Amino acid sequence: MRVNRRTGSEDRNRSRLSVRQEDPLRGPSPPQPHKPDRPDPQRPVRPPMEVSQLSHRRVNKRTSAIAAASAAALAGAVILLPNANASDEKEAAPRTFAGPAAAETGTALAADLGADAAGWYFDGDSGRLVMNVLDEEAAETARAKGAEARIVDNSMAELKAATQTLSDQASIPGTAWSIDPKTNKVSVLADRTVTGDKLAELEQATDGMAGLVSVKRSQGEFKPFADGGDAIFGGGSRCSLGFNVDVNGAPGFLTAGHCGGVGQTWTADQGGAQPLGATAESVFPVADFSLVMYDDPATEAPSTVDLQDGTTQEITEAAEASVGMEVQRSGSTTGLSDGQVTGLNATVNYGNGDIVNGLIQTNVCAEPGDSGGAMFSGTAAVGLTSGGSGDCTVGGETFFQPVTTALEAVGATIGAGGAGAGGEAGDGGEAGAGGEAGDGVIGEGAGDAGDAGAGDQGAGDEGIGSPVDGARDDSSGSGHQ
């Protein structure tokens, strides 16, 4: 640009003024999280004015100084606005959670959002809590709590109404359903027995709920895992001990409700030589849990789970499950297995009128004899094995009774303590009549290598101890696998 002495300062000031003429709010908006820029197609963005477009007029020194200061301030605002937005994005970034912490936050956030929440799940790979919501306002609330917000179509009320319709119109043996927050639908499973008229009945019930329900087939057969195993025995059944608990200072343990009714006595061996206790409360169907109180009130029931490798996992609390939570299951038939929670509030129709509600659905394998066994996540107790389809060779679905529901129903808390009553807490506790036993036999003795068998082989190399101590061992003397 050519500048003479008289107009030089004037042109320079006009050059600064050109910054003011450019209104930053009329250009594309600075990037916002989850808010894509959508400029108005009817209003083209006006380009900044060039100095040559400005009219040439006299500007005195005072006007020039004010204009320069204003231009500098606006220029600073143009530079600072993106930085402020970047700070907002950083604050709104989803937090990383552990499984139990995600469950606690998700439950509380869903309660706060009320009808605007449509379920949530835990992404184990990223450690993020994903909250389904119905509008942007609820999404902002979820983000403020560290969750990743996802706006979905189906409300929780609509999904629950769909499950009620299934209960009313499709109460068919061999079916199960739960709300799947990942798909924002009700996931319906039909096992291999659902054929012919039963399948037609199911299809008729679900056809009218397009967009709310998805139907899949299971290759196995839904049934309670009530037989097999060598952990606890009662009434001709063999099941797995779940978690030791405390009831007003007295020791007891939780197991599956379908394993035995109220008044059922339990022993640590099939022959009944090692009594454990009697069932104090039992619920099945509708729910699936039992509370067994130890005969000896001085029993110190350890709050641990056998990891099947010579070590145990301490259990310090009970936690709600969340979809996507990584869990492990320990049972007396198949030992330790792991997987993920895939559904909540599942309803399972085991047949013969045995319908159980409010279960946790997983892809963890289990087999007969694992019933009542512990499902846990880290140090948190999560569920008691109920039933399912498949096995630990081909896989399948397994359903669990939530521990929190069982604890509340029987007025118990997760217990803590050392070895069983009657022996030493360390190596060498003695009790029983027979051969060798293994870790922590519950009843009249305890110890990592105590004598406590009942019969030639006793309870096997692993024995029967804490919540699931004594999982099946190939050398078990119970005579069952």
Active-site residue flag, 377: no
Active-site residue flag, 34: no
Q: Which of 116, 237, 258, 332 is catalytic?
A: 258
b/e string for 416-434 if b means 16 or more Cβ within 10 A? Answer: ebebbbbbeeeeebebbeb
Q: Which of 180, 191, 288, 473 is catalytic?
A: 288
Instruction: Count Cα neighbours of 226 within 13 Å in the Cβ-side half-sphere.
Output: 16
Neighbours of 307 (CB within 10 A): 15
Tell me the C-alpha distance between 329 and 401, whole Å.
Answer: 13
**Nearest one of 332, 318, 300 to 231, comparing CA atoms:** 332
Tell me the C-alpha distance between 109 and 101, whole Å.
Answer: 12
Active-site residue flag, 258: yes
Please report, for residues 2, 16, 120, 211, the alpha-carbon distance to residue 33 in angstroms, rounded to integers and kept in the order given: 46, 33, 20, 28
Q: Which two tokens stand for residue 307?
A: 């990891």
Q: Which of 371, 377, 476, 478 is catalytic?
A: 371
Residue 375, C-beta contacts closer than 8 angstroms, at least 6 positions apart: 327, 328, 329, 360, 362, 364, 381, 382, 383, 384, 385, 400
Cα dihedral 381/384/385/386 (nearest 10): -150
**Nearest one of 303, 310, 331 to 231, comparing CA atoms:** 331
Main-chain dihedrals φ then ψ at residue 80, nearest 5 degrees: -80, -30
Direct distance between the N- and C-terminal alpha carbons of the chain, in angstroms, rounded to an integer: 95
Helices 196-207 and 156-169 pack at an angle, to 10 degrees, of 150
Secondary structure element (H or E) that encloses residue 245, with its range: strand 244-247
Tokens 């992404």 belong to: 123
Instruction: Count Cα neighbours of 9 within 13 Å in the Cβ-side half-sphere.
Output: 12
- 338 CB burial (10 A radius; 0-12, 13-18, 19+): middle
Task: Catalogue the active-site residues.
Answer: 258, 288, 371
